[in-house]
Amino acid sequence: MWKLGVKPMSETNAVLIGRKPVMNYVLACITSFHGGAKEVSVKARGKAISRAIDVVEVVRRRFLPDVKVSKIGIGTDQLPSQEGNQASNVSTIEITLRR
């Protein structure tokens, strides 16, 4: 079970949301649960945050109704700017799904 970059070594897998279509990340979550994970952590920052919510809603409403949102955390990451100016802040979210 080494598909889609999901490593079932620990009980909690992380799915980092980027710019790909929502269904790619939905599949990564489902694969992770089917691989035996008890928890999947969906992480995103910046504009990808709304896509992270989409992923979670599709997973639990369409595919895995027994999966619950156990925790939602928000925060801020500091990004060093490329021009050596002031660092810019970007918002983050981490949604923990539990089966």
Binding site for a second copy (CB under 8 A): 46-50, 53-54, 56-57, 61, 69, 72, 74-76, 89, 91-93, 95
Looking at the Cβ atoms of 2 and 65, the one nearer to a second copy is 65
Tell me the DSSP string of 56-95. Answer: HHHIIIII-TT-EEEEEEEEEEEEPPTTSSPPEEEEEEEE
Q: Which is nearer to a second copy, 18 or 75 (CB)?
A: 75
Query: Residue 93: which of 50, 29, 40, 33 has the closest Cα?
Result: 50
Residue number with CB closer to a second copy (12 or 78) = 78
